Structure 1
């Protein structure tokens, strides 16, 4: 079974390495904005980091904005410059003092004072020459403070100024000189100390400070991963993952749990607010996985970027960029067009039609480049909207749907990207929020992915799996359901990329591995789907004890297992409350009556405002068969063994004759009807003589003829009154007094319960509306097909309810 790795916990007392693979954790400015945020980050580091990991930090909160403001004031000679510098210093000093003990805080504030003095010196000289040096202080202060806090509270730590090792070619390309940078980093790191590195800043070959652009700390993190060949990079930010559109303007955007590398790179290039164009470049030749998670909700699964199977490749998203220019010129055709597109990193282009799309600030440089070629150019203000997904260009249906979604927009050009991961529409006006929401809806309305885990591969479980391929292909509500887990009491097969439903049982036999509940719950807690449904086809009380953990994770349950629905009252109420709190759906229509819709009938009556007063009937297919066929000529014990040989009874028929199964079913229905009671409140007649109840199964079979006299007497007494015998469950309420019992009764031959087909169940419901003429549901109450079909019915019902559900987008300090 797949499972998430156990994170090492760092402490001053125990700093042994629990694992060896290096991981990089990057924390953005909003994640480090204030004392509370930093405290939260320290907790994340304790839980998720080991000593040889690397932590990359951005400047705290709005510090970079404040530094840009100081820079602007310095360049303009504004009189408020000193006040701005003082405010910046005070905010940093306050943050330091709130997190460190007095002596440590005093040391950092003393260094801060020296930094401020350096500010003033540069301003007096020529601030334009030291612009990047000034901007670098935000990350430097953040790394210095984080390292000090970790040293005080968690583990040995050392901060490193990235300018001590990270060398790039220039600020335009920001291409890393990897051999040199890798060698210098190796000298900077110290064993047995957690490394904290400044994001955003670097140096060039001449030793001058260079920045990696706004939001460049993400790029810093992936550069670090490439330098140390990290197994994983986590970008801790203020959003709990990457969404199918900007969640700040598209409320119904959905989280993309897994993204192929190429798709993520294209999203970053085309304006995704979380990913940035250069972030994925350093990982191109590495097997490193990238995760995006929220430091404000670190328990919530984020987005993983890497190499995945077909399910992850089905994701679609919509992104946009405004304030662009569409430039047309003869120089943008053929090879020269390719050259221009590369030179200006065009957002999109077409060398046959002779245009490229660039940012507005590139207009002057592009005009100068064209002047060298002595050609004319026309510029049109433009914006782009793109549908992005794995090889979407190759899917004609997606392309047609995208064009239909923009039929009312004034589209200048449609372009298919060279990498085939995006369909781009170029428009002559900025993309509006209304248009973005409409297009997003059209492109992603059917895109929710639901993972399906089937527990129990016995007779019914195997039939459920056999029926699954046809169901997935023919039922629209199941279009995006993927079988991802098969579980028995001893083994499990879990595959995030999906299990082939046509060969699921064979794959289980070949690849299933032993597991325990902790491993199983760990995988469920980190599943990469919009929703997860567990179908419980086990008879296991132990497995039913996992329901609460399922509900706490927001997982939905379809159950044929009776144990949870008939659990002790307090436990049952707790399950209902937990499911409601976490918006988990729990359907158990096959716990009673197999595929018969008795549960639907009860729910419908209650939802319509009716009041149920009585539920009665024959709830056991086994006992129904026995008493329909028992005529006194064949001994009851012979009939019982015949039913056993036909597979109509439990392996130990005393389970059927005890009435416990019927007792649980009556309790489930009574609770569904809105009444609070326990098994102990239902009187149950055990049809097994007391002397036969505790002996072994083999001894019971040897002594089973002892049943014959009792049942023959019961039958003869009934026949004397022109009646028959049936095992009846009855629940009623009168003047708030509840009566519930299960017993062998004598019934008139024309009674509704007296003439059933063998193995049939029958349910009679009386209510305020159905009083003198009760409502009756009758049909087969057992069997592979009807039970598996009932489970599929519940699965469809859950998926129909989930299709329009949207998860709350968690955004902090955006």
Structure 2
């Protein structure tokens, strides 16, 4: 991509630069660790940034650790100091040389050499005086390099040293002077260029360099978002989101796609390995949303933090901290205890019982602080394990379940947090990985959230929705299923926070917005659920074309739509393969036989080792009704028009009489039985004469009497043999493995299983190695809104049962 094209991409589209909301993108050290990592970051910026967005960076890879190392060598007056500085310079020079053209690299290496000379002077003269200034080089080098690479490959860019605008009170509280910082921040911005800003470093009111603590670059990003009024902050890191527990310890941890602000803040306070306590503070009074995503897998939806509805508020997390101290003293009761809790940012406290829980490193400070009271104080090594979720303190069932889960653990205290978003158990022993896994399982085993999108709101779609409230209430596996989308060919109602199932259609009529497949896919691709199921109740071939895209995104499909399942062999095999590769479940029990269990029967026979040799029957409810009813007493056309008026046929009855629908159903069943064939392999007898096939529907209906002689003759021939006429589908595999398949009008003896059905019924006959002499027969209503909607609900239950045991692979590239 040329620079001019990149600039155009970064500033074009629906968003003109002046109107485009600001987004802050922060990249952590692991995201910038190597040449390949930085090139990946450049691609992310190219695809996601506009020119007035802001990029915040940490030091590359282990640079901060390396700076700490050389500092400690300086303090120790080690002979290895100069060699360590030289190694540091070489690693930075290598990154520059690999990423930039020679002239740009030479300029940046000259600046680096100046920095190394300054660093060497500080470390050999007065290292302790320049500790923070020395650490600042890591972020400076990172920002300069990324800015230079962007200017060369993507768009005009410049680096900003955050110390030029960001002012805090001190490096303990790190409270921002918003008025002074905001004014200086605006002065440092340049129009028409992409800013790359150092994270982690700042200055105090005296102009001295300060740092925001380990992982302070996240805090820098949210501070800058607050100063700029940014709409979104994305923390690009080495994991693809926030999990319900530390995924390094709990393999069954599940991604939390959406977290309310208060819950995220509490998670950061209690030791979440990705979120940190101060990160959310600057966004408290802003509508900014925070995202956590992986720079290693940028296409994967991460975690969003903001204001959400009830579904997101149901999420639970488990977190733990070791190396803590339980501090008990009579002085820690009442208001003084509350003051101590605030002063030391206690993990938890109880001012009635007179204790606080702190980090072990704070013991000396707490001892000094309490010394003036001249009271006895005890320090007991402890750990904590906590349940974190929206307002969990006020949910008695959560409290009770947590205490039951801890019944075999020695618990000193159970404390409700002041935020009301966590319940904290103080343990006498360390919190082990085994305990964390057990508590996580007990507290989150039923927590998986499944979103359901219903496409097609005709008779069957509306009946499916009418049945949904009762199904959700009485079937336990559907406990965490949420209706989140209602879609038709032109409009859609998509609500991440859920659609009230009791008012689904009225809400659709009131709130649905115009929507095409592109907009629909955009929403589905970024859904915030553990699983998403699309229920396709449309007859649309156009909509079925989206199945492959659904499967690529890991979305599951329940389809009453026959187009995909009866597509060309190449297309069908592609869909099956894509679904398998992405662990998508594709069910379609209602494509054939409405709610009849023909699909289940075929699957069970195959799973048990049987081999099917024949599938035959009457697969069309319309043709079943017509030929069970037709006895010659009235012309066939009169019967056909009567069926049309009752809604038994399609609006154009030729859709039924052509046999194409039956042909597709036979193909679907044959494929389900494990055979590879296409529509062209199935002979199809069209019951509409050629003279009527090309007419409009109105013209056909006007000339429908032209059908009468043919059907009267067929009936007469059959009656003479004491037989009847039926429209049959038949698939057979002979002893040599040769396949034959056809759909046709047949004369059947009146004692044939297919000869005497309730009008409208379907019947399916299966022969197999086990059912050869006495075939398996399934018979019942093959159409109707209730049975078809019921079949869809059966598929929904089946798919949720399968998903209940599904394990997601946690993507960890290098969680620090």
TM-score for the superposition, normalised by structure 1 = 0.98
Matches of 2:23 and 2:738, distance apart in 1: 64
Q: Contact 2:616/2:729 (CA < 8 Å) preserved in 1?
A: yes
After superposition, where does 1:471-510 map in structure 2 within 5 Å? Answer: 471-510=471-510
Matches of 1:9 and 1:598, distance apart in 2: 60
Higher mean C-alpha displacement, 267-276 vs 65-74: 65-74
In the alignment, which residue of structure 2 is the partner of 1:267?
267
Structure 1, residues 732-780: CA drift from partner, whole Å, max 9, x if none? Answer: 0111211111111111111111111111100000001110110011111
In the alignment, which residue of structure 1 is the partner of 2:781?
780
After superposition, where does 1:362-377 map in structure 2 within 5 Å? Answer: 362-377=362-377
- 2:47 counterpart of 1:47: yes
Q: Contact 2:259/2:304 (CA < 8 Å) preserved in 1?
A: yes
Distance change in 2, residues 1:576/1:415 (3 Å):
same
Q: Contact 2:22/2:229 (CA < 8 Å) preserved in 1?
A: yes
Q: Contact 1:370/1:376 (CA < 8 Å) preserved in 2?
A: no
In the alignment, which residue of structure 2 is the partner of 1:3?
none
Offset at 1:643?
1.2
Q: Contact 2:449/2:480 (CA < 8 Å) preserved in 1?
A: yes
After superposition, where does 1:447-596 map in structure 2 within 5 Å? Answer: 447-596=447-596
Offset at 1:468?
0.5
Matches of 1:465 and 1:121, distance apart in 2: 74
Offset at 1:806?
2.3
Q: CA RMSD in A?
A: 1.1
- 2:810 counterpart of 1:809: yes
- 2:98 counterpart of 1:98: yes
After superposition, where does 1:20-419 map in structure 2 within 5 Å? Answer: 20-419=20-419
Q: Contact 1:10/1:47 (CA < 8 Å) preserved in 2?
A: no
Of 11, 16, 21, which residue of structure 2 is paired with 1:16?
11
Matches of 2:706 and 2:162, distance apart in 1: 87
Structure 1, residues 172-219: CA drift from partner, whole Å, max 9, x if none? Answer: 100000000010111111111111111000010000010000000000
Offset at 1:124?
3.0
Higher mean C-alpha displacement, 545-554 vs 75-84: 75-84
Matches of 1:813 and 1:302, distance apart in 2: 16
Offset at 1:125?
2.5
Gaps of 5+ in 1: 1-7
In the alignment, which residue of structure 1 is the partner of 2:663?
663
In the alignment, which residue of structure 2 is the partner of 1:687?
687
Offset at 1:14?
5.8
Matches of 1:461 and 1:16, distance apart in 2: 43
Matches of 2:190 and 2:807, distance apart in 1: 46
In the alignment, which residue of structure 2 is the partner of 1:4?
none
Q: Contact 1:12/1:153 (CA < 8 Å) preserved in 2?
A: no
Structure 1, residues 157-182: CA drift from partner, whole Å, max 9, x if none? Answer: 11011111100001110000000001
Structure 1, residues 611-661: CA drift from partner, whole Å, max 9, x if none? Answer: 110000000011111111111112211111111111111011111111111
Matches of 2:725 and 2:124, distance apart in 1: 106
Offset at 1:15?
5.4
Matches of 2:470 and 2:37, distance apart in 1: 50
In the alignment, which residue of structure 2 is the partner of 1:5?
none
- Once superposed, which parts of structure 1, at least 4 consecutive aligned residues long, lie more than 6 Å away? none
In the alignment, which residue of structure 2 is the partner of 1:789?
790
TM-score for the superposition, normalised by structure 2 = 0.98
Offset at 1:17?
5.1
Matches of 1:194 and 1:145, distance apart in 2: 13
Distance change in 2, residues 1:13/1:697 (3 Å):
closer
In the alignment, which residue of structure 2 is the partner of 1:677?
677
Offset at 1:813?
2.4
Matches of 2:579 and 2:643, distance apart in 1: 39
Offset at 1:704?
1.2
Q: Contact 2:762/2:780 (CA < 8 Å) preserved in 1?
A: yes
Q: Contact 1:10/1:49 (CA < 8 Å) preserved in 2?
A: no
Gaps of 5+ in 2: none
Matches of 1:211 and 1:319, distance apart in 2: 27
Offset at 1:723?
1.0
Matches of 2:81 and 2:43, distance apart in 1: 37
Matches of 2:516 and 2:82, distance apart in 1: 63
* SS of 1:136 mapped into structure 2: helix
Distance change in 2, residues 1:540/1:13 (3 Å):
closer
* SS of 2:729 mapped into structure 1: strand
